[in-house]
Amino acid sequence: MEVSRSPHGLGAREIRDRVRRGELKAEEVARSLLGRIHATEPALHAYLYMDDEAVLDRARGLDLRVARGEDPGPLAGVPVAIKDNLCVRGTPTTAGSRILSAPGAGFRPPYDAGVVERLLGAGAIPLGKTNLDEFAMGSSCENSAFGPTRNPWDRTRIPGGSSGGSAAAVAARSAVVALGSDTGGSIRQPAAMCGVLGLKPTYGRVSRYGLLAFASSLDQVGPFARSAEDAALVLGAIAGHDPRDATSADVPVPDYLEAVRRGVAGLRLGVPREYFAVSVEPEVERAVRSALAVLEAAGARLQEVSLPHTPFGIPCYYIVATAEASSNLARYDGVHYGRRTPGARTLLDLYERSRSEGFGDEVKRRILLGTYVLSAGYYDAYYLRALKARTLIRRDFARAFEEVDALVAPTSPFTAFRLGDKVDDPLAMYACDVLTVTVNLAGLPGLSLPCGRDGSGLPIGLQVMGPPFEEGRLLAVAGAYQAATTHHLEAPAVGDTA
C-alpha cells in the first residue's frame, strides 16, 4: 500500500526540515498524528495513555520558537511515542502492570527519563505512552495488564514484544518514531514482526536513567523508525553519557546520519551458521538470504562464521534476566511504590496480597525463577554457571569481529503468530527470542529491518549485529539495503489511510 503524504505519513527528517523552514507547523503535524491515533487505536490498542491537549500545547510552543527565529532542535516537531516503562514527568507510567496503576496509587513520576529529557531538548513532541508486556517481560505484548496490542498487518496476530505498542504505532503511522527498550530482543523482535526498523544500541550508549528496571545488566533504550535515516536522527539525539546512570559510557557520539549514507562497499558481513541451524521457517530464511544477496550486490562481502555457544543463549539469559528481575522488583512491595492492598493485618500479609494482586502471572513466574537461582545451594549451580556461559558468548562475538565487520541473520525464526497461540506455554514463548538474546548478553548493538513478507503478508526481519559502539556500521548496512529495496515503504491497511 502506498504511504500517505499527510503529515502522519512523512518521515522524521522531512518533518524536522519543513518545520524548521516554517513550511509546516508542528501543530499541524501533531493534529495529523492525533487523528491517526484515534483512527487506529480501536483496532490496535498500541497506546496506554494520551493527552491530546498537552501534545498540542507543546507543538504550539515549538511553533512560537520557530516564529521567533530560535533553533527548535534536531527533532523539531517530530512526534514520538514512548514505551510506558520510561518516566515522563507527571504522566501515568505503569510498565503495563496493575501494581503501578491502582486507583489512587497510580505512579506519576516527578521527573523525566534521561532519553525523554533529550527528546524534549531536541524539539520532539511526545505523543503518549505505548503498551508493553508487563515490566517488559514477554515476547508478544499479551502480558500487559491492560490487554494486548494487535499487529497492524493482521489484527489476529501479536505485534511482538515487549515493545509491541511502539512497534505497532510506527508501523500503523500513528507515530513517526518511537522509543522502546530491549532486554533480550524487545526492540528487534517486534520491529521484525511489525515491518519497521528497530535498533538496540550498545549497552551504555543510551542512558537508562528513568527506565523502570527489568534486568539492569541487559536493558537498553533504543528507537523504532521506518527508515535508517530516521533511526539515526533519533539515536543521535538520545545517545551520550549521562552521569545519573552508573553504566552510561562516556564515548563520543558520531554523526549517525552520515553513517547511513556510507554504503557497504568492501564491508565484511559474517553469516553465523548457528542462526540458521534453529528451526527457521523456510520463508524467513529465503527472505533473509535474498536480503544478503542485495547487500552483496551493493558491494558487501559475505563470509560464514561460527558463534558456537549460541545454543546456550536462552538458558543463560533466562537465569541472568530473572535473577536481576527478582532483585529489581523487590521494591514493589505495597509500601514503597504502587498498589497497597487495604485491610492487611500484618506486614507480611501486606506484602503477599499487594504483590499477588499487583503482578501478572509472567512477572510472578520470573520473580520465582530469579529468587530460586539466587538462593543458597543453587547460586553456583545456576547463576554462577550462567555468568560463565555469558562470558563464552561474549568471546564468540569478539572472535567473529576479528574476521568480519558486522553479522547478518534472521531476527526471528518465524513471523507473527496468532494471539493466544503461545500464551499458555512459557517455554515456547521464551524460545521466541532465540536469535536476539545473545546480543544483549554480550552488550552489543543490534538492528532489525524489514526484508520481505511471508505468504500470509506478514513482515520478516533481517538482523544486523556489530561490535561495541558501532551503531553507525549497522545503520550503514540498513541504509544501503533500504536504498536498494522498498520493503520499508510498505504500510499496513489499518484505520483511516487517507
Catalytic residues: 83, 162, 186
Spell out the alpha helix ranges (H) of 329-459.
Answer: 347-358, 361-374, 385-403, 426-430, 437-442
**Three cell numbers, residue 290:** 535474498
Q: Cβ-count burial of 54 within 10 angstroms (0-12 exposed, 13-18 middle, 19+ buried)? A: middle
What distance in Å separates the CA atoms of residue 461 and residue 348, rounded to the nearest whole number? 47
What distance in Å separates the CA atoms of residue 314 and residue 436, rounded to the nearest whole number? 9
What distance in Å separates the CA atoms of residue 317 and residue 125, rounded to the nearest whole number? 35
Q: Check: CB of residue 464 under 8 Å from CB of residue 216.
A: no
What distance in Å separates the CA atoms of residue 79 and residue 127, rounded to the nearest whole number? 6
* DSSP string for residues in 119-151: HHHTT-EEEEEE--SGGG--SSS---TT----B
What distance in Å separates the CA atoms of residue 80 and residue 72, rounded to the nearest whole number? 16
What are residue 126's phi and psi, to 5 degrees?
-65, 130
Do strands 177-181 and 221-225 pair parallel, antiparallel, or not at all (unpaired)? Answer: antiparallel
Q: Where are the beta strands (DSSP E) in 182-309?
A: 197-200, 221-225, 268-272, 301-305
Q: Where are the beta strands (DSSP E) in 263-332?
A: 268-272, 301-305
Q: Which residue has the cell 532542535?
A: 73
Closest C-alpha to 120, from 174, 77, 66, 179:
77
* DSSP string for residues in 58-95: HHHHHHHHHHTT----TTTT-EEEEETTB--TTS---T
What distance in Å separates the CA atoms of residue 176 and residue 317, rounded to the nearest whole number? 32
What distance in Å separates the CA atoms of residue 107 and residue 450, rounded to the nearest whole number? 36
> Which sign, positive or negative, has the C-alpha torsion 369, 374, 376, 378?
positive
Closest C-alpha to 420, from 44, 141, 48, 192:
141
Residue 207 carries which side chain, given as an amino acid letter?
A: S
What distance in Å separates the CA atoms of residue 473 and residue 466, rounded to the nearest whole number? 7
